[in-house]
Amino acid sequence: QVQLVESGGGSVQAGGSLRLSCTATGHKNNRGWIGWFRQAPGKEREGVAAIDIRRDRAYYADSVKGRFTISPNNAKDAVYLQMSLLKPEDTAMYYCAADDGIDPNYGLDPVEYLYWGQGTQVTVSS
């Protein structure tokens, strides 16, 4: 089992920054991949960024490349999502998710992840 807790959400103006944190506990073999996803009202959940922690390889959705950075802490029990140059369209509930052995071609696909946190709200005003 893996437990995930997100924090760091809030309200900012367009152009601002936020850093989300995802704290993970449980068996490390079940959380080799950590992903950040978001879901806005009336829209499907979409992948934002993901990291293969063992290989230290990060993957990003085109919509956030150059603005968001995903990174783990040294103990590999937390993963951060640094979000900069935020836009109103980034407004959503943000979730972190974990699993292992994911094909990198599907690293941003939410169906690949078994374990999910409860989410943290990000609101960007214009």
Residue 47: what pLDDT?
98
Q: What is the pLDDT of residue 40?
A: 97
Whole-angstrom distance between the N-terminal and C-terminal Cα of the chain? 40
Residue 30: both structure tokens together? 């079940």
- Distance between CA 94 and CA 47 in Å, rounded? 10
Predicted confidence (pLDDT) per residue in 56-73, tens digit: 999 999 999 999 999 999
DSSP 29-82: GG-SEEEEEEE-TTS--EEEEEEETTTTEEEE-TTTTTTEEEEE-TTSSEEEEE
How far CA 26 is from CA of 45, 53, 76, in Å, comes to 24, 15, 12
pLDDT in the model for residue 29? 81
Low-confidence ranges of the chain (pLDDT < 50): none
Structure tokens at 43: 């829209």
